[in-house]
Structure 1
Amino acid sequence: MDAVTLTRPNLALIAALMAALTLPAGAQERPAPRPEGDAPDAAAAQAPKPDAAPLTFGLAGPFLAARMATVESDFQAAARYFVQAVAHDPGDRFLQDSALVALVSAGEIDRAVALADRIGSEGEPTELSHLIHRADLVHSGDWTGLLADVGTPGDAELEADLLAGMLRGWGLLGAGKASEALAEFERLSRVPGVAPMVNYHLALARALVGDYEGAESLLADDMTGAHILGFTARAQILAQLERRDDAVAMIEAIPGVEAEPQLLALRDRIKSGQPVAFDVVRTPADGIAQVFLTFASALLSSPDPEPLSLIHARLAAWLSPDTAEARLMVAQILQERQQFDLAEPEFDALRRMGQMRPVAELSRIDTLSRAGRTEEAGKAALSLTAAYPDLPQAWIALGDLLRQQEKFAQAVPAYDKALALLADAPADARWFPLYARGIALERSQQFDRAEADFLAAIEIRPNQASLLNYLGYSWIDRNENLDRALDLIKKAVELSPDDGYILDSLAWAYYRLGRYQDAVEPMERAILTMSQDPLVNDHLGDIYWKVGRHREAEIQWHRALSLDPTDSDDVDPDRIRAKLDRGLDAVLAEEAAGAVETPAPAPQAANN
């Protein structure tokens, strides 16, 4: 179950939304304004240019900077530069809309409202400025103004502008016209293709006015209520109807509910007889926030979800800051766009609200780690283990972070905790933490425990190539169980014949066993897929030397050095230089005479 999916993707809804709201999607394609003095050709001079910006240096600079910021999804910079561009040409509708997109995306809603008001006062509003104006009417509680703005559309207009119809329904409720509001939602539900989405809002409206029976009957339909907010609303409504056993049974039957602690906490409150309020929406403004959130969710399924989905999610969070799903969607969209500085305040707000979502947090931790923001990832992992100490995935995520930072001894206790929590879980849930703990143990010189973990993991996943490779290579490196070790690595190659790391392991296993000629072919295959890896080039040089191909060995060692190896590459540049100077045999003899241990690099480990 997806924590942020509010409705099933609805192609009719998406098409209507895309038609109803046109944003400056061509921002990246629009040519930059020319400086004064650049004369256009004759044909261009005669062509009408209603949206053309003044050809000034003052506009070109901010416009180009804004374009670059937009390409990089740097919404704060884009907002700053588009606002500067609008100041140079206040009447350019393209620049106005682009500024609004950037301001809303950056979360600067108050500034976007001010700009939208100015656009409306100076002439015909754009589609986006009109949307923002309507959101501001809701934010200020001006229901009369909102109803006047959306009007009373006929059936054809309802189908063409679903958003206006939904705003009217909630606006009527805000104006105290409950019967008219419910009738409006019922009328809108007859538009082809949108009944489930509209019925969800009709259910919320019914519950808000106290018609819990009518609300529950709508949410009982999976097409209407089978999403996290629908489940939450239905459980709260069942509690109002004193059908607590039904509410508990409904929650416990939700697939994947163990990953949704908020639902489990709600179940426990209902089960224990504690008072449970209906608070999915508290006001009509919350209802309109859910409209924007529903549209944002649907737009995420469109071929080009940005910036429409983020704009709707931002407006939802602005209208209803306590709606956790709105903040979560904003945070996740920003995270996907690598805008961590904008996403983090949203995640912080969720934590303060007690609405930290484990699935979303795990994704966030992984994204931060992949982006190299390890300190933030570590803090997020620690926060998750503190908030949900009984969640094994949180401890696995913490262990993985520590292991990726080569803090192997510190990673072991995190995996210990995860495996203790998974003691009664299905075996398949245990193989990866066993494998990961095995790596951490092996790298922290605790091989007996590591070997036991690897063997236990192999019993669960006998065809996991990276697992077979790791144990086989470890045995080879320790000169133990050599025949079985080589069999494990050969099987890993059969399972992943194009994996350069595993081919490198096979070749190096042959090398360690003195089977130099056998090592050549797999190492040459490895280099085809990993030509930029200094370790593989160094290994191939050693193998070539051992089979008498000394000139080729030197070429590979030179190449390894040219790739600027570091400690993280498990390559010693000084040792390579010594091999180039004196030959591999001399270096090995010196190391043997000096009892210098040259440990083999660890095999490549899988991260998932």
Structure 2
Amino acid sequence: MRWATLAATISAAAFASAAGVAYAQAGKQDERPAVAQDAVVQEGVEPAQELRVTSPPNAAPDRTYAKPEAALLEADVDYMVREGRRALNRSVDDDVALWTASVFIDDFAAGRYAEARATLQNSPGGLQGGMADMMEPFLLAAEGQVDRGVERVDAGGDNLPAPLPEVERALVFESAGRLQEAAAVYAQMVERMDLTPPGEAEPQNMEEFERALGATRVSHAVYRAALVHHRLGRTEAARRYYNTVLEFSPRSVDVLENLRRLDAGQQPFEPALTPKSAAGRWMIFLAEFLTQTEALSHMLSDADPEPGLASPAGTTMLQLGLLLAPDASDWRLYAAQEVLEAGGTAGAERILAQMPADDVFAPDAEIVRAGIHLERDNNAAAIASADRVVANAGNRWTLIAAAADIYRRTDHTEQAISAFDRALGMVQAPKDRADVLGWRAFAHRYVGNYAAATADMRAAYELDQGVDTRMLYVSILMDDPQAWNDGITVARTLFAEQPDSVLRLNALGYALIQQPQGLEEGYRLLWRGFNYGQQDFAVVDSLGWAYYLYGHFDQARALIERARDLSNAQEPNSEILDHLGDVYWRLNRREDARAAWRQALDADPDVPRRRTLEQKVSRGLTTPAPRQRELPRVDLPEGPAQREDL
């Protein structure tokens, strides 16, 4: 299958232990101290206003969901609090950390500090446990006990990796307006950090891997340091920190806006922290860490991906954090996109609805709204969102390019190309121009204009030879018979740089099997890639398609069915379903074939694939079946004969 980029997300062993899940799983007796239930989990407590607004419109008070994740997909935190109170009343250990966090934040947001402390006291480990380590410092700060809050951070900071303890300490100082002390903590934190941004290429050693895992955390922490120094009028230090963040995220609109304000002698556009918003910001830091830890744990377990949220615990912390820190608009965008990708269109819409219309990220929110409309098959509304973005983007060429991609996905190719042309006219940096040319090339390829796509990719390659540009170059040129050899040449250089990379093995192997002269070499490479990445649906599908081209349809079926199952954890993939339909047809499973092709049509294929799929549904396969030939010998175990052997 066409190359696919795997993005690292963030994960949660620490939350399991710190918040008490591991405590319950270890088989220990429930040692939670006896606390008056009416002080901790009393039903009927008026919810904090911040949480009440998350209730879906016209929602029944007694509404239920099959599991907490379903409520998170609806962004229904009000329900989470209600169920949290009921669960803690029953002393239920399942999801105890999730329920405790929800109830604590509700009481904390409403100013019910005694009840919030009682909730922590009643959590696993009590006031010395992991949940209290994470949340009590901000409760103390809200009560005016800032120094005790900092001491509490120091007492429990060993449970979290750097720079999180320093961030927590500085946020407590920020919440009380003690900016000089916060600045000192941040400055020491930054001195100990690796400020090298991760490279484009996949990590090749542990140092690069840790750098990639920590990139979001580092840039997030340095941005807070920049804000504090900015508020204190320490212009040069603030500028240095802002520019460090730009090295990680070159087009961050919030950083660019604050640099403009710094030059004009103005304060940052974000409001100063209060104890409530500081706790929210802290929960966002924890959410990022939890999500990454859970995703990493899942990868290391070698388990098949599952549909839905990558980390329900991380999503809970993020949605709670946004309610306490409503100005965290960049994270609001992330939260909406996360829920949208997991199938929660209504939840994503409600998360975005809490962003003010004049927010610096409001145009970005309009792009996410367009994505919501596309998920609902409302192309007219998606185009209207894209039109608003183009009209209000100003000099933000990335937004114009994003709107162009919305036009592409709704088959408005002329508008897409016109918007890409406009974006291209706004950029000068070679890497930026290469990016726009690459996106425009993909738009040309999407409608089957392979010559124009190849021309754009050649121009992009002349400007930039970064990994992303070269990978797209291979993907575009493999479809153009006149340019296939050039694509293979670039794919070979990528592979030579990292011969153990599944991504690069798949890029070269799949490109090779597009032409008969590359089939044998591609098959051998794809077997090697499969040996490294049996959870990677792209390489599994590619190897299955190589089996198909050799006429071994049963083996092809086993692999491509697995690729379909793996990809469905994200979303149905038209290319895999198209391949599967062809395999079924060769096995005389005609109805199964047409069902797979119809599913491929529903999965938003590009225009050429859509046309061939429509013909297949109508007339079936009219080309001769690949002749069965002997498979090339590979120095690896032979391929699986049946689906269950995988």
TM-score (norm 1): 0.59
Distance 1:379 1:19 in 2: 46
The residue that corresponds to 1:346 in the other structure is 351
> What's the secondary structure of 1:186's corresponding residue?
helix
**Given the superposition, is the C-alpha separation of residues 242 and 132 from structure 1 closer, same or farther in structure 2, using an over 3 Å criterion?**
closer
Question: 1:106 aligned to 66, 74, 86, which one?
Answer: 74
How far residue 287 of structure 1 moved from its aligned partner, in angstroms, is 2.5
The code of the aligned residue for 1:249 comes to R
For 1:572 and 1:101, the matched residues in 2 are separated by 37
**What's the secondary structure of 1:242's corresponding residue?**
coil
Structure 1 portions without partners, runs of 5+: 24-74, 86-97, 474-484, 508-520, 538-551, 581-608
Range with bigger deviation, 375-384 or 290-299: 375-384
Question: Displacement, 1:564?
Answer: 8.0
1:456 alignment partner in structure 2: 459
Q: Corresponding residue for 2:264?
A: 272
User: Which one of the candidate residues 237, 244, 256 is aligned to 1:246?
Assistant: 237
Indicate yes or no: 2:176 matched with 1:209: yes
1:296 to 287, 295, 301: 287
| SS class of match (2:163) | helix
> Are the equivalent residues in 1 in contact too, given 2:474–2:488 (CA < 8 A)?
no
In 2, Cα distance between the equivalents of 1:12 and 1:504? 51
Once the two structures are superposed, residues 56-83 of structure 1 have per-residue CA deviations (whole angstroms, 9 ceiling, x without a partner) of xxxxxxxxxxxxxxxxxxx98xx98995
> By how many angstroms is 1:343 displaced?
0.8
- Shift in Å, 1:377: 4.9
CA-to-partner distance for each residue in 1:458-503, whole Å, 9 max, x for gaps?
Answer: 6567993454455545xxxxxxxxxxx7966997999856459943
* Matched AA of 1:307: P
Alignment correspondent of 1:419 = 424
Shift of 1:206: 1.4
Q: Is the 8 A contact 1:490 1:506 kept in 2?
A: no
Measured after TM superposition, the shift of residue 522 of structure 1 is 14
**Aligned pairs (5 A) from 1:469-480:** 469=478, 472=481
Deviates more, 1:261-270 or 1:435-444: 435-444
**Secondary structure of 1:397's partner?**
helix
Tell me if the contact between 1:395 and 1:418 (Cα under 8 Å) persists in the aligned partners. yes
How far is the alpha carbon of 1:269 from its aligned partner? 0.5
Q: Is the 8 A contact 1:100 1:116 kept in 2?
A: no
Q: Is residue 2:495 matched to residue 1:503?
A: no
Gap change, CA 1:217 and 1:5, over 3 Å in 2: farther
Q: CA deviation at 1:312?
A: 1.9
| Counterpart mapping for 1:500-579 below 5 A | 502-503=514-515, 568-570=610-612
Aligned counterpart for 2:222 among listed residues 206, 209, 231 = 231
**Per-residue CA distance 1:23-48 (angstroms, 9 max, x = gap):** 9xxxxxxxxxxxxxxxxxxxxxxxxx
Quick one: higher RCO (CA 8 Å, sep 6+), 1 or 2? Answer: 2
Identify the match of residue 161 of structure 1 among 107, 112, 129.
Answer: 129
- Which deviations, in whole Å up to 9, do the C-alpha atoms of 1:418-471 show, x marking residues without a partner? 222334323643551453465589859xx8x77864653565679934544555
- Superimposed CA distance per residue, residues 227-258 of structure 1 (whole angstroms, 9 cap, x where no aligned partner): 45433432232123321122112211322343
Distance 2:67 2:594 in 1: 50
Take 2:318 and 2:229, find their aligned partners in 1: how far apart are those partners? 28
- Which has the greater radius of gyration? 1
Q: Are 2:338 and 1:333 equivalent residues in the alignment?
A: yes
| Residue identity opposite 2:150 in structure 1 | L
Residues 96-128 of structure 1, C-alpha deviations (whole Å, 9 max, x = no match): xx76665465333334444544566x6547635
Question: What's the TM-score once normalised by structure 2's chain length?
Answer: 0.56
1:64 aligns to what? none
Structure 1 distance, partners of 2:323, 2:133, is: 21
Q: 2:185 aligns with which of 182, 195, 218?
A: 218
1:511 corresponding residue in structure 2: none
Report the Cα offset of residue 197 of structure 1.
Answer: 1.8
User: What do the CA deviations read for 1:314-336 (whole angstroms, capped 9, x no partner)?
Assistant: 22233343333553443233123
Query: What SS does the aligned partner of 2:515 have?
Result: helix
1:15 aligns with 2:57: no
Which runs of structure 2 are paired with 1:252-401 in the superposition (5 Å)? 252-254=243-245, 255-276=247-268, 279=271, 281=273, 283-300=274-291, 301-302=293-294, 303=297, 306-324=311-329, 327-350=332-355, 352=357, 354-356=359-361, 374-375=379-380, 377-401=382-406
Give the C-alpha shift of residue 268 in structure 1. Answer: 1.0
Secondary structure of the 2:271 match is coil
Cα distance change, pair 80–20 in 1 and its aligned pair in 2 (3 A) = farther
DSSP 3-state at the match of 1:315 = helix
Cα distance in 2 between the residues matched to 1:195 and 1:493: 38
Query: Partners in 2 of 1:307 and 1:227 — Cα distance?
Result: 23
One-letter amino acid of the structure 2 residue matched with residue 275 of structure 1: Q
Q: How far apart are 1:413 and its partner, in Å? A: 0.7
Partner of 1:175: 143
Counterparts of 1:136-147 in structure 2, within 5 Å, are 136-147=106-117
Q: Could you say what secondary structure the match of 1:335 adopts?
A: helix
CA distance in 2, matches of 1:466, 1:10: 35
Mapping 1:53-72, distance limit 5 Å: none
Task: State the number of aligned residues.
Answer: 463
Q: Aligned partners of 2:325 and 2:481: how far apart in 1?
A: 56
In the alignment, what sits opposite 1:134?
A: 104
Counterpart amino acid of residue 429 in structure 1: D
Counterpart Cα distance in 2 of 1:374 and 1:22: 48
Root-mean-square deviation (CA), in Å?
5.5
Counterparts of 1:12 and 1:310, CA distance in 2: 15
User: What CA distance in whole angstroms lies between the structure 2 residues aligned with 1:130 and 1:560?
Assistant: 49
3-state SS of 2:354 partner: helix
- Which deviates further from its counterpart, 360-369 or 272-281? 360-369
Tell me the CA shift for residue 339 of structure 1.
Answer: 1.1
Residue 426 of structure 2 aligns with an amino acid whose one-letter code is L
Equivalent residue, structure 1, for 2:438 = 432
- Any conservation in 2 of the 1:233–1:280 contact (CA below 8 Å)? no
